[in-house]
Amino acid sequence: MSNTPKFDVTTTGEAMLRLSVPAGERLESAQQLDVRPGGAEANLAVALARIGRKSAWAGSLPADPLGRNLANHLRVAGVDLEGVVWSKEHRMGTYYVEFASPPRATQVIYDRADSCAANLVPEDLHWEYILDTRLLHLTGITPPLSWGGAPLSKRLWSGPKQPASRSVST
């Protein structure tokens, strides 16, 4: 690692695909779903890249078309993905959204069982890459997400010399 960090911000956490019904429709009767990339940490990396910050996202994606779809979205936005661990064993986490009109509330259903992020452990990640940054960021969902989430978060929060930001609202 050089004295000047490679990235302004590196985020880590679960990147997912959001599947949503067209406005005004219900999940239970939907005939089609809109597919969009999602995940708070990945979205932050995209937003920072769009305003000119050198950003990176580190995590795990499935080595399949869904993983490549999400990676392409991040890459096109300017997010560095050298820290991605490609998994042939686990799947993409997804969530389903039904946008509602008042008085109904928007409904969100998460499907994270056996996802890449749920199976990620600290030993899987490229730590030299992750720590080559001015700021690390992860959210509060990472520790309870899986059995590997707490050790991963602990290593991120306690190990680096870099400042770390944590969002506990997710």
What CATH number should be reported for the domain holding residue 145?
3.40.1190.20
The whole model's pTM is what?
0.84
Q: Does 156 fall in a domain?
A: yes
More confident: 27 or 167: 27
Q: Does 31 fall in a domain?
A: no
Structure tokens given for 49: 């890249």
Q: Does 98 fall in a domain?
A: no
- Give, to the nearest 10 degrees, the angle between helix 65-77 and helix 40-50: 30
pLDDT at 160 (0 to 100): 54
86, with CB counted inside 10 A (0-12, 13-18, 19+), is middle
Per-residue pLDDT reduced to its tens digit, 26-60: 999 999 999 999 999 999 999 999 999 999 999 99
Dihedral sign of CA atoms 43, 164, 139, 148 in order: positive
Domain count, the chain: 1
Q: Does 137 fall in a domain?
A: yes
Q: Does 76 fall in a domain?
A: yes
Q: How would residue 163 be classed by pLDDT, with cut points 50, 70 and 90?
A: low
Query: Where in the sequence is the domain holding 142, given as residue range(s)?
Result: 7-13+39-89+111-164
